A and B are shown apart, each in its own frame.
Chain A
């Protein structure tokens, strides 16, 4: 594996459109649930251990070469909010465009042909990691990191939070991210051996409900 390829894929400047999404932070700020660094950290921790754990396991399984169609179906079932399914496919399509140029591969081409409207982002992320020569735990780390870095960056804009504070939140979450990525890689291997239905399905009710509400706003800073 190439450690540098992991940095390229995980870089917030990788042109995959993630900056337009707040990961539910915009709805949580508006509802008064995120008011500063402390509540941002609790938000990110909860998100990481629920949707983050699921995304990381899906990405890990895709990196191992588990059938992306079955993984996409598993991702759909684990994303009951239609607003979040739409966002995940949009992000998946944007990531796939960039990844196909960065790491050309027949598997990425096949994914684009099979899902013209976009596959779930973690499935694309794992397939891209595979094309870049990365492993399941690398893909899981990448998914876990962007699961929390997205909201942290968004809250800097939404609350004018000190960027140093937001970065400190991410630094404090690093041990949790490592743990989530390790468990996700185990879950990915299990999914390869026993089927995608064994993947984790941890859910975050406030993110689900908040996303539906957010999608109906007339004016918003972020797409989700």
Chain B
């Protein structure tokens, strides 16, 4: 994945873990513990996330406080909605390994598989 995308994920992950609004300086300080990174880079990526609608911000004193607009679970749910075909999705944007099936059909598939295995062993 792109380095910038990685930093986006790290910033989002920290804010989700903290569960409170935080200024870019706090995020930078925490990121800096694991690897050297420029404050301006963190600030820029936080602004990118804000423009993408993933972070909201509020001014407190002189600094912006950032906070995720949605929880991690909400993002995952939205992602899975794309993948499971609940969203109308243009042809071929995502190609799923198997599509949805009825319970009886899954059972039929399983017994077919078992029968084939027995044949293979016999």
A binds B: no
